[in-house]
Amino acid sequence: MDPANQRLVDLARQATADQDWTSAARLFRELAKARPETASNWHNLALAATRRDGTAEVADLRRAVLLAPGEPRYLNNLLVGAAEVACVRLIARLLVLAPTHARALADRSFVLLRAGDYDRAFGTARRAQVADPSLAEGVARAGQAKARLTRVVLAKTLYRRYLMLDPTDSTGLGRDLARIGGLGTTQAMTPAFVAGVFDGYAAGFDSHLIDTLGYIGPRVLGEMLDALITSPIECVVDLGCGSGLSGLTLRLLARQLIGVDLSARMLERAWQRGIYDALHQAEIVSWLTLDQGCYGLAMAADVTSYLRDLQPFFQAVVSVLEAGGRVAMTAHEQAEGDFAIVEGETYSHSEAYLHRVAVAAGLAIEQQTRGAMREEKKRPLPTLFLVLRKQ
Ligand SMILES: C[S@@+](CC[C@H](N)C(=O)[O-])C[C@H]1O[C@@H](n2cnc3c(N)ncnc32)[C@H](O)[C@@H]1O
C-alpha cells in the first residue's frame, strides 16, 4: 500500500479506537475512494456511519457484499441496514453463486418466515444446518419455523440447541422459548441481546419514544416524587438510564446523579446531555450487588420490562438504599399470574406479584397510580407507576 493510503488506514483505525465516528467515517470514505476495489473499506465506512448516525448508506454495504460475496459479516450487516427488497434479491443472488452458503440459506429462511411460508422456511433452515451445523442462525430459523407450525416440542429442542451454540442469544430467541414454556428461571432476554437492541435504537430513541410512542414515564414518576420530596437528595441512581430522559427528571431532585445501563450507545447519548455525575455500563442487578453506594432514591423507568423475575432486582436495590430511601418505577401491568412475556415481546408483571416481591425485600408501597407510560402497537400500554420506600 502506498504511504498516503497507509497513513489514512492508521488514522481511521485510531479514530475507530477513539470511537470518534465522525472522523472514522470521513477517513474510511477517503480510503474507499482511493481503493474502491477493497471490500473492507466500504464495509468499515458503513459501520462508522452507523455508529455516527444510527444508519449506514445501503449502497456502501452493497458494494462490500458484491466485492466479497462469501463474507458473511458483510451480508449480515447489509440485511440489518438495507431495505428488505434489496436483501431478498441479494440473498437470491448469493445462493445462485454459492447454493450451499449456510449464512445465506439461514437468511433466506428468515425471509420465508417473515412471508409466512413456514414449511419452506424450515426446509431452507435445514439446508443451512447441513451446510454448517455450527451456525447458530440456521438452528434458530429451524426452531422458529417449527414454533410457527405449532410443533412445540421440536421447536423447544431446536431453540435450546441454538442457545447452546450462541449463549449470548444475539438474535433474542430466548423470548420465544420462554413464551412457549421452554425456558426455566433463566433470563429470557440476555444482557447481550438487550444491549444490542438499544445500541441499534440509540440514535432515534428520543424522538421515537416521545413523538411516536408518547412516552411520559419519567414525568409521571417525577410528579409523584415532587409530592413526597421537599429538599434535594444527596445521591440518586438512574437504573437503565438509557439516553437520559429519566435523568432530566432526576437532575432536579439530586445533588449527585449516577446512571447505569447496558447499552454503550445509549450511555453516549446520556453523557452528551451533561446531567450525570457518573455513568456505568453494566447490568443493573449485577451492578447493584457489587456497588458500595448509599442512595436516597433509585429510579427504574421503563426498565423492569426487560427483567423477568423481579425478586433479585428488589433485593439488590434495597441493599444500596439508605433507610427511608425510595424506588420510583414503572411496570407494564398484566392482570393475572406473576409475570409473562407478552405480545410486545417484553415482560409484564402483575400488581399482586410486584407488591409481594417488593414487600418481601423490605419495601413498603408508598404511592401507586395507573395509566399508560407510552403506546405499544398503537395502543396505550397498561402501566403501574410505583413509589416504594425502604422500611
Ligand atoms: C426503554 S429504555 C428507558 C430508558 C430511560 N430509563 C428512560 O426513561 O428514558 C430501557 C433502558 O434500560 C436498559 N436496560 C434494560 N435492561 C437492563 C439491565 N438488565 N441492566 C441495565 N440496563 C438495562 C436498556 O439498555 C435501555 O437503555
Q: Specify burial of residue 335 (Cβ count, 10 A radius: 0-12, 13-18, 19+).
A: exposed
CATH architecture of the domain covering 196-390: 3-Layer(aba) Sandwich (3.40)
> Which three three-digit cell numbers place residue 268?
453516549
Select from 335, 337, 348, 339 the least CA-distant residue to 376. Answer: 348
Q: How far is the CA of 101 from the centre of ligand 1 (A)?
A: 37
Q: Whose CA is nearest to atom 1 of ligand 1?
A: 302
Interhelix angle 152-165/136-148, rounded to 10 degrees, is 160
- As a whole number, the mean pLDDT across the chain is 88
More confident residue, 67 or 242: 242
Q: Does the CB atom of residue 202 touch ligand 1 within 6 A?
A: no
For 22-50, the DSSP string reads HHHHHHHHHHHHH-TT-HHHHHHHHHHHH
pLDDT at 64 (0 to 100): 83
Q: Whose CA is nearest to atom 20 of ligand 1?
A: 283
Q: How far is the CA of 100 from the centre of ligand 1 (A)?
A: 40
Cα dihedral 16, 20, 24, 27, rounded to 10, equals: -120
CATH architecture of the domain covering 3-187: Alpha Horseshoe (1.25)
In tens, the pLDDT along 1-42 reads 677 788 888 898 888 887 788 898 899 999 999 888 888 888
Residue among 189, 243, 262 to mutate when testing ligand 1 (max atoms within 8 A of CB): 262
Strand segments, DSSP code E, in 224-362 are 233-239, 254-261, 278-281, 295-300, 321-334, 339-341, 347-350
Task: State the amino acid at position 307 in one-letter form.
Answer: L
**d(C-alpha 222, C-alpha 2), whole Å:** 59
User: What residue spans define the domains of the chain?
Assistant: 3-187, 196-390
Q: Does the CB atom of residue 329 touch ligand 1 within 6 A?
A: no
Q: How far is the CA of 261 from the centre of ligand 1 (A)?
A: 6
> Which three three-digit cell numbers place residue 139?
438452528
In tens, the pLDDT along 185-227 reads 455 678 888 888 898 788 889 988 998 899 999 999 999 999 9
In tens, the pLDDT along 337-358 reads 998 876 447 889 999 999 999 9
Residue among 169, 187, 194, 297 to mutate when testing ligand 1 (max atoms within 8 A of CB): 194
The pair phi, psi for residue 201, each rounded to 5°, is -95, -15
> Which three three-digit cell numbers place residue 100?
450451499
Q: How far is the CA of 203 from the centre of ligand 1 (A)?
A: 15
The pLDDT of residue 311 is above 60: yes
Q: How far is the CA of 198 from the centre of ligand 1 (A)?
A: 8
pTM (two decimals):
0.71
